Amino acid sequence: MALELYKRKVKHFLISLFTLIVLSMAITIASLSIGPSMLDPKEIFKTVFLSPFGMATSDSSVRLVAMLRVSRTVASFFCGVALSIAGILMQTTTRNPLADPYIFGLSSTALTAISLTIILSPSTAVYRYNLVVVAFIGALLGYFMTMMLAKLAGGGSLALVLAGIAVASLFSGVSHVLLYIVQRVIGTPIVYFLMGSTNTVLYRDIAFIAYPTIALLIFSIALFKPLNAYLYGDDYAKQLGFNPKLISLISTGIASLLTAITIAFIGIVGFVGLAAPHIARFFVGSDHRFSIPITALVGGILTTFADIVVRLVSMYSGAVGELPLGVVTSIIGAPFLAYLIAKRMRQ
């Protein structure tokens, strides 16, 4: 029984993994082909995946346009990966299924830290990776603020969510004001940070988004045993020889760093970190050795999909400029929050 059940779980995992990898490839090709000048997905497929076999397209205009979309495609995919791992780590360390970098206020405090830094020293904004450090400190501060406020409110799981919403609202207001001042200082519109955009990501930036995210993803998967033990309580983790405080500190650090990366390059993209872990758990259960990789892929696919929707809406509405990315992820992710709250309150 146990053996068959476990085998079935591994099978579910492998099927989900395979399906999601295929889906990721498909959405990457779609993201490279869709835009004001539509490209043939077949040509893109050849160029991206078959070029080692000498099958790359000879059409140089296809290559050129696709090149322009590489940075936003990679950025949106890894932004989703980063946010969803941050989400699952926060859900585990707070043992709260409603945890997410946006809902708990980390994103807003990180952005506030960034805008303050740009006002004080505008030149730091030239290289966005400088901003990651600042955003990391901001995210950590936001997390501890939320935890402290929740403790004051009695420490229940809903107290935590409400504390997060209070911190998030306050600092999204503050960062909004600061970003208006930033516009005057550096003379370019930078308000898109508030709801996230991949439009401004530069080709030179994508290495700074992708590699740290992959490294932190692998590191998180390596922590699957302590995380699994942590799920059932501090005393339980202690029982199995793990240090619960250390687990929580390390995961909070990773989650904050991942959030900081997305904020520094793309801005606030909400609800991906909430939705992706739930979707992953639905397919492979809550064992982190399976749920973290699946969560990462689901998050990447969701965000890339949202980024395609952003472009389609701006193409067909004929409006000037683009929708922010965070708007679309909110529309996809917020119903999840509603569903989870309804389920939780009834218990």
Residues that bind other proteins (CB under 8 A): 1-3, 5-6, 9, 91-92, 95-97, 157, 222, 225-226, 228-229, 231-233, 235-236, 238-243, 281, 285-287, 289
Nearest-approach distance from CB 166 to other proteins, in angstroms: 21
Nearest-approach distance from CB 241 to other proteins, in angstroms: 3
Question: Which amino acid is located at 203 in the chain?
Answer: Y
Nearest residue (CB) to other proteins, 63 versus 225: 225
Nearest-approach distance from CB 222 to other proteins, in angstroms: 6
Nearest residue (CB) to other proteins, 34 versus 227: 227
Q: How far apart are CA 45 and CA 28, in angstroms?
A: 9
Nearest-approach distance from CB 226 to other proteins, in angstroms: 8
Contact 259, 139 (CB under 8 A): yes
Nearest residue (CB) to other proteins, 75 versus 90: 90
Nearest residue (CB) to other proteins, 281 versus 311: 281
Q: How far is CA 207 from CA 112, 119, 160, in A?
A: 24, 26, 35
Q: How far apart are CA 97 and CA 277, in angstroms?
A: 9
Four-CA torsion 199, 201, 202, 203, nearest 10 degrees: -100
Nearest-approach distance from CB 223 to other proteins, in angstroms: 9
Q: How far apart are CA 34 and CA 32, in angstroms?
A: 6
Helix 41-49 / helix 60-94 crossing angle, nearest 10 deg:
70
Nearest residue (CB) to other proteins, 130 versus 286: 286
Nearest residue (CB) to other proteins, 56 versus 158: 158
Residue 230 exposure: Cα atoms within 13 Å on the Cβ side = 25
Nearest-approach distance from CB 237 to other proteins, in angstroms: 9
Nearest Cα to Cα of residue 89 among 301, 251, 282, 256:
251
